[in-house]
């Protein structure tokens, strides 16, 4: 079916513009009113603190970010190295399958232990506890500084992985 | 031929309205996750993200309702706004694909396990743009055919 515009007078376009403004105004008023009726913990603030969000910091640092679907793919892709940036006791309590523990504060000393499994081009995914933890981003930046070229951050981390039914492996370093 | 065209426009109205009504539900239920989905496009300054997340689902809702049940002029307005939104969404998804951002489009689900955007989203939006344009033309033509109400003397 062809879509052809009818020839109409200018006044009709103005009336259409008025109707558009009316719909947009009604929708905006509804959206803002409903948000204000939300209880405080679930109410969106007018301005969010997005500048300090972990994904914004990763973007600024030039670290690519992946989300749950991408993390699931990487966990099953044996070519990808996965680093858990949390503390050893948190790692031992449960971590993503195939993940290796590399706390950001001990990266200098412990990275050498994985030398036989990594090249500078090995795809790496790093994660920590969840969206409110910065250790994985710090580790990603450090790995980039060491010269690893393909480092990706999974900001959802262990918390999101578990929330969405991901398999958790307990125990120490494989 | 007129019957086929009328059926086509009705089907287009129902399809576009259903898409907008279906799309707004998850966003209205979880505005915080939708704000994160908006932020992931990295197209808006941080100050505008929450305001858009508050308002956009309600624009989809009013457009969907206008397309379904409003008189011709309001239906045309709903279709025009819907067309504009679809065009912007399509551009934003394309940009994400070009930049290699592995995010979900945030279209129908704000859950973390929503499927990552791909070319299929662009094909679907292209079809919806076409349908929204058809609905707009039909509604605008109907509105223009009716004389505007006279002001009382």
What digits encode the pLDDT tens for the residues B29-76? 999 999 999 999 989 998 999 999 999 999 999 999 999 999 999 999
What digits encode the pLDDT tens for the residues B117-134? 899 999 999 999 999 999
pLDDT(B137) > 90: yes
Give the distance from residue A47's alpha carbon to the nearest chain B alpha carbon, in angstroms.
5
| CATH code for the domain of A79 | 3.40.250.10
B46 touches A: beta carbon within 8 Å: yes
**Distance, CA of A104 to CA of A145 (rounded, Å):** 13
Q: What are the residue boundaries of the structural domains of chain B, listed by start? A: 2-144
Give me the number of domains chain A comprises: 2
Domain residues for A21? 10-42
Instruction: Let me know whether A22 and A85 are in one domain.
Output: no
Asked whether residue A2 is domain-assigned, the answer is no
Q: Let me know: does A68 contact B102? Beta carbons within 8 Å.
A: no
A26 touches B: beta carbon within 8 Å: yes
Of residues A84, A91, A100, the one with CA closest to residue A139 = A84
CB count in 10 Å sphere of residue A38: 13
User: B134 in the Ramachandran plot: left (φ > 0), alpha (ψ -120 to 50) or beta?
Assistant: alpha
**Distance, CA of A6 to CA of A16 (rounded, Å):** 14
Q: Let me know: does B58 contact B29? Beta carbons within 8 Å.
A: no
Instruction: Let me know whether A16 and A84 are in one domain.
Output: no
**Distance, CA of B135 to CA of B72 (rounded, Å):** 10
Q: Do A20 and B53 make contact, defined as CB atoms within 8 angstroms? A: no
Instruction: Let me know whether A78 and A17 are in one domain.
Output: no
Instruction: Let me know whether A35 and A56 are in one domain.
Output: no
pLDDT(A111) > 90: no
Show the beta-strand stretches assigned E in chain A. 81-84, 100-101, 124-127, 151-153
Maximum mean pLDDT: which of A83-87, B41-45, B148-152: A83-87
In this structure, what is the dihedral angle of CA atoms B48, B52, B54, B55, given to the nearest 10 degrees?
140
| Residue from the list B31, B81, B102 with its beta carbon closest to the beta carbon of A24 | B81
Q: Do A46 and B80 make contact, defined as CB atoms within 8 angstroms? A: no
ipTM: 0.89
B142 touches A: beta carbon within 8 Å: no
Asked whether residue A173 is domain-assigned, the answer is no
| Residue from the list B101, B113, B148 with its beta carbon closest to the beta carbon of A164 | B113
Q: Do B73 and A49 make contact, defined as CB atoms within 8 angstroms? A: no
What tokens does B110 get?
């704000």
Q: Do B39 and A44 make contact, defined as CB atoms within 8 angstroms? A: no
pLDDT(A87) > 90: yes
Instruction: Let me know whether A14 and A57 are in one domain.
Output: no
**Distance, CA of B110 to CA of B39 (rounded, Å):** 12
Instruction: Let me know whether A28 and A80 are in one domain.
Output: no
Please name the residues between 61 and 80 in chain A that touch chain B, using a CB distance below 8 Å. Answer: 64-70
**Distance, CA of B65 to CA of B20 (rounded, Å):** 9
Q: Let me know: does B81 contact B100? Beta carbons within 8 Å.
A: no
pLDDT at residue A117 in the model: 84
Asked whether residue A1 is domain-assigned, the answer is no
Q: Do B116 and A1 make contact, defined as CB atoms within 8 angstroms? A: no
Q: Do B54 and A35 make contact, defined as CB atoms within 8 angstroms? A: yes
Asked whether residue A107 is domain-assigned, the answer is yes
Q: Report strand pairing: A81-84 vs A151-153.
A: unpaired
Q: Let me know: does B19 contact A20? Beta carbons within 8 Å.
A: no
């Amino acid at each position: 079916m062809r879509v052809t515009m009818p020839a109409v007078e200018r006044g009709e376009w103005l009336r259409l513009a008025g109707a558009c403004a009316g719909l947009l105004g009604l929708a905006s008023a509804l959206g803002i009113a409903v948000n204000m009726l939300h209880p405080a913990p679930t109410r969106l603030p007018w301005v969010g603190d997005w500048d300090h969000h972990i994904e914004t910091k990763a973007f600024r640092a030039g670290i690519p970010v992946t989300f749950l679907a991408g993390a699931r793919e990487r966990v099953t892709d044996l070519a990808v190295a996965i680093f858990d940036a949390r503390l050893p006791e948190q790692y031992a309590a449960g971590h993503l399958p195939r993940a290796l523990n590399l706390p950001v504060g001990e990266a200098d000393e412990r990275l050498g232990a994985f030398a036989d499994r990594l090249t500078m081009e090995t795809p790496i995914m790093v994660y920590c506890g969840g969206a409110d933890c910065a250790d994985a981003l710090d580790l990603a930046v450090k790995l980039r500084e060491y010269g690893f070229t393909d480092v990706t951050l999974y900001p959802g981390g262990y918390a999101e992985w578990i929330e969405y039914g991901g398999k958790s492996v307990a125990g120490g370093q494989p | 031929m007129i019957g086929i065209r009328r059926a086509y426009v009705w089907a287009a109205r129902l399809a576009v309205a259903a898409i907008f009504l279906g799309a707004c539900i998850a966003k209205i239920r979880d505005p915080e996750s939708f704000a994160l989905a908006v932020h992931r496009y990295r197209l808006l300054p941080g100050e505008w993200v929450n305001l858009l997340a508050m308002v956009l689902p309600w624009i989809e809702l009013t457009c969907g309702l206008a397309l379904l049940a409003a008189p011709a002029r309001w239906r045309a307005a709903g279709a025009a706004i819907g067309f504009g939104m679809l065009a912007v969404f399509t551009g934003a998804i394309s940009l994400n694909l070009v930049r290699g951002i592995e995010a979900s489009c945030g279209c129908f689900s704000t859950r973390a396990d929503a499927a990552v955007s791909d070319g299929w989203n662009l094909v679907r939006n292209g079809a919806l743009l076409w349908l929204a344009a058809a609905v707009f033309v039909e509604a605008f033509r109907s509105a223009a055919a009716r004389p505007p109400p006279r002001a009382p003397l």
